[in-house]
Copies of this chain bind each other. A is one copy, B any other.
Amino acid sequence: MADPDAPTDPAGVPTMFDVARRAGVSHQTVSRVLNDLAGVAPSTRLRVEQAIADLNYTPSPAARAMAKRRSGSIGLIQAGRPDYGPSSAALGFNEAARDAGYTVSQASMRTLDADTLTQAVHRLALQRVEAIVLISGEREGVRVLHGIDAGVPLVAVASEHEPGLHRVALDQYAGARLATEHLIGLGHREIRHVAGPDDSMDAAERRRAFVDTMAEHGLGLHEPIVGDWLPASGHAAGRLLLEDRAVTAVFVGNDQMSLGLLAAFRRAGRRVPQDVSVIGFDDIPESAYFVPALTTLRQDFDGLGRDIMATVLDALRDERSAPDRTARVPELIVRESTASPGA
């Protein structure tokens, strides 16, 4: 029989009691040192710290979570294709969460359908995350989310107001206005818009800004062509626009579609920007090397990620008074794909 007072099985991970024994104090004092609480004599603190180092002790997060009744982790759902924007935002969020001392538990999914999303939220709820973040521009996702009561704050990237959840976004409206005004400022009057999918809130905001801005300048409006963000749909839109000899400029909903559109124009001999100007949105790393180099709007996805975490922190502090964060305005990056008409 082993001596009950003998040191714990050295094979096992050391516990607070092992540290306490080695430092000649009670486990509670160890806990105090660990949590940096007052009421520990400097010399004692030193001894404890030494023992911790000697044993290579680290506190068990499970035990801590149990005693504190807080998991210290927050759930992240990234739905949809792993595009540049969402991925960057997720990265920024990840780093911000780490800096705030939180762990992030990820539940990603390729497609955003109500069932999968609901399940993801539940999985995270089972994990007792303290908040749930959704990165996905689709309206459907946000809608599903707020129909669920997860019992924790919900923070979503959403360009449109949605009751029941905290909202973070880049200012799509302002960005799209900048894009449209850039074109108008260049002297274009026959401007068309290739919009993102109807289900995208970002697409809707960009489209709204386009419509408003055109109207403000008394310019004629054509029904936007609707794409799905992918190059192929931009290509299709480009072919459609080829029929339209009046158009001198196109505001495309994102850079990927711009790429497709550029390809369609080139194939048809329609020169950019001499015959028609093209402006995109996002400024993905590839844009500068499109032919011609794409004028576009740069979005601060990284900042968005940080905003998300800041909002989570606010909501955790006081659910009801956490402000939405939607003020970051995209930056116009002028390259070669836009010019004055007939220039």
| Residue ranges of A at the interface with B (Cβ–Cβ < 8 Å) | 58-63, 65-66, 71, 73, 76, 78, 81-82, 84, 87-88, 90-91, 94-95, 98, 103-110, 123, 125-128, 230-232, 234-235, 256, 259-260, 262-263, 266-267, 285-286, 288-291, 293
Contact check, A108 vs B94: say whether CB atoms are below 8 A apart.
Answer: yes
Q: How far is the CB of A259 from chain B (nearest CB, A)?
A: 5
Give the contacting residue for A61; candidates B88, B126, B231, B286; CB below 8 A: B126
Closest to A231 in B: B289
With a CB–CB cut-off of 8 A, which chain B residues contact A58?
A: 125-126
Contact check, A62 vs B66: say whether CB atoms are below 8 A apart.
Answer: yes
Give the contacting residue for A94; candidates B107, B231, B291; CB below 8 A: B107
Contact check, A91 vs B103: say whether CB atoms are below 8 A apart.
Answer: no
Contact check, A289 vs B87: say whether CB atoms are below 8 A apart.
Answer: no
Show 17 residue pairs from A and B whose CB-CB distance is below 8 angstroms, ordered by the A residue.
A58-B125, A59-B126, A60-B128, A61-B126, A61-B127, A81-B285, A82-B91, A90-B108, A95-B109, A98-B107, A103-B105, A105-B105, A234-B289, A256-B285, A260-B289, A262-B289, A286-B286
Closest to A288 in B: B231
Contact check, B73 vs A91: say whether CB atoms are below 8 A apart.
Answer: no
Most B-side CB within 10 Å, residue of A82, A230, A293: A82
Query: Which 5 pairs between the two chains have the least Cβ-Cβ distance?
Result: A82-B87, A62-B65, A231-B289, A62-B66, A94-B108
Give the contacting residue for A288; candidates B232, B267, B290; CB below 8 A: B232
Q: How far is the CB of A71 from chain B (nearest CB, A)?
A: 7
Provided the pairs A128-B60, A231-B285 are in contact, do residues A88 and B82 lie with their beta carbons within 8 angstroms? yes
